[in-house]
Amino acid sequence: MGRSPCCAKEGMNRGAWTAHEDKVLTEYIKLHGEGRWRNLPKKAGLNRCGKSCRLRWLNYLRPDIKRGNISPDEEELIIRLHKLLGNRWSLIAGRLPGRTDNEIKNYWNTNLGKKVHDHQQGSASDLKHHKNGEPNSKKAKMMDMAAPASHVVRTKAAKCTKVFIDPHPHKVPLGHDHQHCTEERNAGGLMFGDKPAAMDDDHINSTQSFSSFSNINADQENVTSDFLADFAMDEISLANLLNSDFPEINHDELNHNGSDNGMSHCVDETARFFSEGMLQHWKNGGSDDGDDRVQVQPNLVLNFHSYTSFLGSDHQGEECLGVGESR
């Protein structure tokens, strides 16, 4: 369907933003808030495309933006998340407070992508010298996990802000209409922290449902045990994420796939992936402030594995959730 361009390109300023434009935009947004980007330039008196204003604000002018000096920890996390998510820069950025998708994308393209590529070539030859295929160093192991993702959880990109878990779950029959099952959920985006995790009742909302997924998953050749939660980063530190061991999980899953449905090691993996504190936090209801709207069932936590395994299969996952391409 045709649509009008977001702005008339003729006569618009393009290219680098001037300090004056930045100031005008910043002050306008301070006064009126974000949104309505199409009309914003006109109202603010900027000779810019609305999209351009939005981009400038999101990537550079926002007060919480952290620019440059990507730390080794952040770098490692980016590699881990890229391994998990692929080029889902916005999702990756969502897990690095203050970082933007554009910055991470650029950083990847200019630094990490090259590193990883180099490493792949290196590790390919390394493997010849290590019959077991075990990387011979921590660094090598770290880089290895960033190899092209055979286990990338392919999601529809969206920022997860809220997901609700129904405190009164009921079974959802397979094939149920999940058309509006959001991208967030598809991305495994489950918010924990001060906003208690919850799911609405139309969706994956019970231990039984998760179990169903794992049953479906039984036939899959590749079981993905990666789980991605949209953590409230101020509560769950980067260190928690870094302490989790994605590559080990991946290795385990490869080792276990032939023998079971991936459930037998679910408990261990969950425990390794999430810190004890995080698990305890969720089991306690995901809230320390007495908000008891949600009690995350321990089984539910464990069964996240099944869920994400399920999501790991694009095809089946989308079919069952009814979130496949619809156009």
Partner DNA sequence: AACCTGACCAACCGCACATAG
Partner DNA sequence: CCTATGTGCGGTTGGTCAGGT
Please give the residue ranges that form the binding site for DNA (CB under 7 A).
1-4, 6, 9, 13-17, 35-39, 48-52, 54-56, 58-60, 67-68, 87-91, 101-103, 105-107, 109-111, 114, 156-159, 180, 182-183, 325-327
Closest CB to DNA among 10 and 289? 10
- Which two structure tokens, joined as six digits, stand for 5? 């361009």
Burial track 231-265 (b if 16+ CB lie within 10 A, e otherwise)? bebeebebebbeebbbbebbbbbeebeeeebbbeb
Q: Which helix (H) or strand (E) holds 231?
A: strand 230-231
Closest CB to DNA among 301 and 321? 321
In angstroms, rounded to a whole number, what is the distance separating the alpha carbons of residues 212 and 204? 10
- How far, in whole angstroms, is CA 305 from its chain's centroid? 15
In angstroms, rounded to a whole number, what is the distance separating the alpha carbons of residues 99 and 96? 6
CB of 202 to DNA, least distance (A): 13
CB of 3 to DNA, least distance (A): 4
CB of 23 to DNA, least distance (A): 13
In angstroms, rounded to a whole number, what is the distance separating the alpha carbons of residues 190 and 193? 10
Closest CB to DNA among 179 and 280? 179
CB of 5 to DNA, least distance (A): 7
CB of 127 to DNA, least distance (A): 26
Closest CB to DNA among 85 and 300? 85
In degrees to the nearest 10, what's the CA dihedral of 205, 208, 210, 211? 180
Closest CB to DNA among 64 and 221? 64
Q: How many CA atoms lie within 13 A of 251 on its CB side?
A: 12
CB of 211 to DNA, least distance (A): 26
Closest CB to DNA among 120 and 257? 120
Cβ contact 76:89 at 8 Å: no
